[in-house]
Structure 1
């Protein structure tokens, strides 16, 4: 059965696609470059400056509010996993540690933003952002930029960037709520409200998730105890427009999570371990337009804090814990003396901190980074857009690092065809955990550096109802940091000489009639160790399948019913750097439907893993089998 489904999906990959329909433009300070070309050809650069799509030379995927609503997913990871170039691994039940790899890069080399705030955890391994606690909730837009781009983002943007945004303020009063129930006593509820009056506009939302879960340790090893998970997330935005030229933006995001999980050494098994996590995310920014629009300015302070406590048995006192903090000061200016040219420049000061307490140890570490950058965007000829930039980061541990980037987009026919070229450099300082952890740290680590190359073409057909894209890429990373075991329970972090990832991404989006949307995505990634050690040279990097394909279809019936399906195939991979332990590929199928009862009410439901596929994304950890959920939505606007 697996081989039959695999053949069907691989055939569909020849017509691979991803959603790129009309999008609303995010607020300043939130945006990254957006590929948005099916209807409304507007893009937003990494600095929040709007551009036509035929000025962008980088590979981007956008998941908009309509797609998020249709898909009915709980985890952000499951939404972005159907985009090209994305691979992920999850250690069991919902809420467990989840990493996202872009184009074969390390999961620690994915930079993540939530409502304009950098949320990579300074106390995490490699500053990795754990997607396990990031549920869809009231998120309205997700953008995935693939390729090294440290000119705009600084440290960590080696694989790319995932930018997550909640809904912005609305002109009139609007409110939405939904609740669903399903497999393993799972409750998922959320609500939001937004509006504006005079100089004030804003919105707030809250979501709650509770499940009995599944066993994080795999059933194949005899594990049976379910690991439950609870998550409370809240978000808020306030915008104060003092005038047409001066405004204040305030944003907040909060996550409180409680997880039962299985921690094991050697053979997987049930355990009584518990983790509790709290994340605090804040943004305060002032926007000022000067000289009749010639110069736009943004001044902002952002704050991120992640407290993690771990218990061997659920109790009131943690056995050990981590706390990561990051305070950032940002200035960004946009100078546009003529319509065909603009200069984007800025300064950032970042202060990450790391705390650990437990096992008789109490450790505190911190660092400082000062950064300056500049980007020039020019259109010297009709249909040709050129972007180039440079950034310099001065790190308190390693000194200076300079990165370059450039891209070009040429359209000979007013955006119907776009030829893209992109070159980007990446820089990532070792995390405070990798440097100073008392059990595995190494203060002699060097920063990671990368060079990324893209070439691609986008083609719109049938008056915008079809768009096909192909992108070829290669990234070379030197001094990549990895963990090397020195014993059964010991090891440390070291630099390996070099890794290389290369491959191709194919996308297609079709809307032959207004009621039908067809999307799919295929990517091939060859990610290998290119270090000089003969024992590891040319080995595949762990947990990165070569092939992945996803196909989705949704149809809106005339009587209010909407139906859809998604098929995803992920190929084989290895769980370890030695390539001795394999992870079998898998095929997942999901069905969904919703029906509008009245203007304000909608009933919806879905079935995940329709074929009850048994698979793992991390050796020894379980995954969900067939599961069904149903609920109701209500809106007032």
Structure 2
């Protein structure tokens, strides 16, 4: 078992999350839905830029995010089944955006987004906002927001890149991207392909031997037409196809021939218009999300059962800047999530309507002080109206070298259509989840930016949290537990003692507890390791070689709400290297789980041992 001593906790709390280093990090879009200087934001945000993504060489977004503070994930199998938790919240309480489009599945358990199908592919930037933040996004963002983005095309000229790699278990991972612009038009498109024989979904430590393969095809495209400086059309599309072999999960996982196939479609069409010399900008958009999930007991036969989730959103957002020191952000949204099910001799179809209005103000009353506050009102067709509030402040007395942050956010999440109406486990009497989140922290830069320290303490109280209770007849079901409480600390250090060496350290302590009366009162919430520490170091040699490694340590957790089955902690070591060959070519490779650690993030499910991969990148 992996343990963290109290002395090391205190030391790391004073010095610890990891962040990417790039001038782009000074601008974030996730806090309010518009581009802002990070010195205006009082919330905790981590940015992972294109350089960090390329350097780390991760395949799955979840693996990349584990090196950032406050992130925990559980993987129910070799690939293609990953839930991600922020600050100890439920995996269903993470809002996910792809190129600005909400992609949580309306037919999934709790509208959960499966990070197993979200591969790095052609993604170029990830922003992670931690803490309840329903103001700009509405229902879902109790734990926080993960915003993943493809590259912004150049407005002039042409850019292209491609990569391909091969490795353990006949894994093939390839991608290509091309983008460019000329005159009023810019755009780009990309495609990524991943195929592996995988490992057994059921743990080999428990007798499973059959490998479960996984295939993923992802495509993206975007087009922007700037008719004038103040008027433009913005079109974006994203598609993910996943094909996963998995093992039976009724009871203990065991070898079987089960297969799942999924198709996700994401679309965005928006008009941007600015008036009053740019002081009044407007965005009118429609977004579309659809996911089909089909399940087969034997590949090549008809689907035994399946789900379809669909959501159409209409969005208006206005930003008015009457004076240089104040912005008003306001908007209206309408969405209609839909849920369809077939299988076992029955069908079901349900839908809901949500209408929201919101308003935020960002003001700078004094030099260096930025204050954001606002409210959102959401009317849900099943649950009526709900108002959520939020406010945060950031004060820098020295032009950004020091940032003092404080934030308060409220979260609101309606039960998913699955949780309400599933014929086997649904409960139509569920009520919405509600949360209050508090942050206080600081960021300190020293040695002309060569050293950066960030520390955040947080606390969240969630009421009416939805829980799956295996004891409910006949097959288990969903109910509202009264209360959960989470508190903790996140910290990060980034060091660049010399130009060639970068070291980042990320640590978070999360104490997530059930505070509902009953047998589980005071228990730790399931599958939330209290401590995660990650250290990454990368060195650029004078002749072009780049070498690096990451060590991630995860402490013990419990698999069940009753805290009767413990999941041992573990440590993972990854090594990586890359070498340019000429101006346009780069060779790279990595070894993951160097020590061949055996671990489980969900009881009974397998995880990769030591594995190696090598590839080539081409950039024009």
Q: TM-score range by the shorter chain?
A: over 0.9
CA distance in 1, matches of 2:312, 2:94: 19
Q: CA deviation at 1:257?
A: 1.1
8 Å CA contact 2:98, 2:147 repeated in 1: yes
8 Å CA contact 1:23, 1:64 repeated in 2: no
8 Å CA contact 2:30, 2:145 repeated in 1: no
Counting only pairs closer than 5 Å after superposition, residues 561-600 of structure 1 correspond to structure 2 as 561-600=545-584
Question: Tell me, what secondary structure is at the counterpart of 1:68?
Answer: helix
8 Å CA contact 1:429, 1:448 repeated in 2: yes
Q: Which runs of 5+ in 2 are unaligned?
A: none
Q: 1:329-358 CA deviation, whole Å, 9 max, x = no partner?
A: 000000000000010000000000000000
Partner of 1:439 in structure 2?
Answer: 424
Question: Tell me, what secondary structure is at the counterpart of 2:135?
Answer: helix
8 Å CA contact 2:445, 2:451 repeated in 1: yes
The answer to whether residue 158 in structure 2 is matched with residue 173 in structure 1 is: yes
Larger mean CA deviation between 4-13 and 241-250 belongs to 4-13
CA distance in 2, matches of 1:459, 1:178: 37
Q: 1:457-488 CA deviation, whole Å, 9 max, x = no partner?
A: 11010111111011000000000000111369
Q: Which residue of 305, 316, 328 corresponds with 1:320? A: 305
Work out the number of aligned pairs and report it. 619
Partner of 1:33 in structure 2?
Answer: none
Partner of 2:597 in structure 1?
Answer: 613
Question: Tell me, what secondary structure is at the counterpart of 2:51?
Answer: helix
Question: Tell me, what secondary structure is at the counterpart of 2:228?
Answer: coil
CA distance in 1, matches of 2:515, 2:301: 47
8 Å CA contact 1:9, 1:569 repeated in 2: no
8 Å CA contact 1:264, 1:271 repeated in 2: no
Q: Which residue of 42, 45, 64 corresponds with 1:79? A: 64
Q: 1:98-138 CA deviation, whole Å, 9 max, x = no partner?
A: 10000000000000000110000000000000101111100
Q: Which runs of 5+ in 1 are unaligned?
A: 25-35
Partner of 1:359 in structure 2?
Answer: 344
Partner of 1:419 in structure 2?
Answer: 404
Partner of 1:21 in structure 2?
Answer: 21
The answer to whether residue 64 in structure 2 is matched with residue 109 in structure 1 is: no
CA distance in 2, matches of 1:474, 1:43: 23
Partner of 1:537 in structure 2?
Answer: 521
Question: Tell me, what secondary structure is at the counterpart of 1:242?
Answer: strand
8 Å CA contact 1:6, 1:587 repeated in 2: no
Q: Which residue of 52, 55, 58 corresponds with 2:40? A: 55
Larger mean CA deviation between 360-369 and 482-491 belongs to 482-491
8 Å CA contact 1:516, 1:555 repeated in 2: yes
Q: CA deviation at 1:48?
A: 4.0
Shift of the 116–174 alpha-carbon distance from structure 1 to 2, 3 Å rule, reads: same
Give the TM-score normalised by structure 1. 0.95
CA distance in 1, matches of 2:595, 2:405: 39
Q: Which residue of 187, 195, 208 corresponds with 1:223? A: 208
Q: CA deviation at 1:6?
A: 13
Question: Tell me, what secondary structure is at the counterpart of 1:184?
Answer: coil
CA distance in 2, matches of 1:186, 1:63: 25
Q: CA deviation at 1:13?
A: 7.5
Q: CA deviation at 1:152?
A: 1.2
Q: CA deviation at 1:316?
A: 3.9
Q: 1:196-237 CA deviation, whole Å, 9 max, x = no partner?
A: 011100010000000000000001210000000100000001
Shift of the 608–45 alpha-carbon distance from structure 1 to 2, 3 Å rule, reads: closer
CA distance in 2, matches of 1:228, 1:515: 39
Shift of the 215–7 alpha-carbon distance from structure 1 to 2, 3 Å rule, reads: farther
Shift of the 23–226 alpha-carbon distance from structure 1 to 2, 3 Å rule, reads: farther
Q: CA deviation at 1:264?
A: 2.6
Larger mean CA deviation between 50-59 and 269-278 belongs to 50-59
Partner of 2:132 in structure 1?
Answer: 148
Shift of the 302–553 alpha-carbon distance from structure 1 to 2, 3 Å rule, reads: same
Counting only pairs closer than 5 Å after superposition, residues 25-36 of structure 1 correspond to structure 2 as 36=25
The answer to whether residue 172 in structure 2 is matched with residue 187 in structure 1 is: yes
Question: Tell me, what secondary structure is at the counterpart of 1:153?
Answer: coil
The answer to whether residue 487 in structure 2 is matched with residue 502 in structure 1 is: yes
Give the TM-score normalised by structure 2. 0.97
Shift of the 206–481 alpha-carbon distance from structure 1 to 2, 3 Å rule, reads: same
CA distance in 2, matches of 1:467, 1:179: 35
CA distance in 2, matches of 1:549, 1:7: 14
CA distance in 1, matches of 2:14, 2:213: 40
CA distance in 1, matches of 2:204, 2:43: 42
Shift of the 58–2 alpha-carbon distance from structure 1 to 2, 3 Å rule, reads: closer
Partner of 2:286 in structure 1?
Answer: 301
